[in-house]
Structure 1
């Protein structure tokens, strides 16, 4: 059983991107060791490329949504956004969607890359958990 404040994080995408990032660094090191005749500028270029790939992979692996009593902090690949619970109208995870989508009170939507379709049944459970949290934090005493 998960705690209500447990962050939403992908499993498969996280593992794959961390592995790809590590592989890029290891292969670059092996390449640089295998080709000592490369010019210093070429070596620097290969190293920079490996760092950029690893950085991108780290950022992809670090996507998440963190709930607390006041709201939800969504960290996607590029942006991070803080929402109060009242900002969230609904949680959608329809068939064919790669990740959960939030419908917001201002009429916009926000993807939550922390819950990804590639995680199968786990993702469905996490989407239900998020929808439950939204319902619990936005419930009113009136039935309107």
Structure 2
């Protein structure tokens, strides 16, 4: 494994391309469905509202899916997944894993559990995800207890 220099803190890791695609598709879908609802003259006000509500719901779901990120600062890491946010001290992170085929990074924690960190995912930008995982691993090893603790 190549040594990765530790990035300056604070640093935010997020799947930028995936986020851009999700938000762009959601916005385009909202605009198109809303325009169709407004252009169809045979629709009543309730049906138009239903179209627009459905479009807003699609946009909301895609915005929620674009939410994941991992924020590292001097005191630890904040993992923002789709619906949950968890703050971890550096000492709680024993290992940062991104194995071939993993959909995102997993953090091995000092309480014996493993936690997904969806903010680093190899989906569209595999090489960026590998760099981000290595940078987070380097930070965890220098600031926390390291991979040999426990």
TM-score (norm 1): 0.90
Q: Which residue of the partner structure matches residue 44 of structure 1?
A: 49
Task: Spell out structure 1 runs of 4+ moving beyond 2 A.
Answer: 1-4
**1:4–1:133 contact (8 Å) kept in structure 2:** no
> Tell me, what secondary structure is at the counterpart of 2:43?
coil
CA RMSD of aligned residues (A): 1.9
Query: Number of residues paired by the alignment?
Result: 142
Q: Please give the alpha-carbon distance, in whole angstroms, between the structure 2 residues aligned to 1:75 and 1:138.
A: 20
Instruction: Note the residue ranges of structure 2 that are not aligned, 5 or more in a row.
Output: none
Matched, 1:27 2:15: no
Among candidates 77, 81, 94, match of residue 76 of structure 1: 81
TM-score (norm 2): 0.87
Among candidates 111, 115, 118, match of residue 113 of structure 1: 118
Q: Which residue of the partner structure matches residue 134 of structure 1?
A: 140
Instruction: Note the residue ranges of structure 1 that are not aligned, 5 or more in a row.
Output: none
Deviation at 1:36, TM superposition (A): 2.4
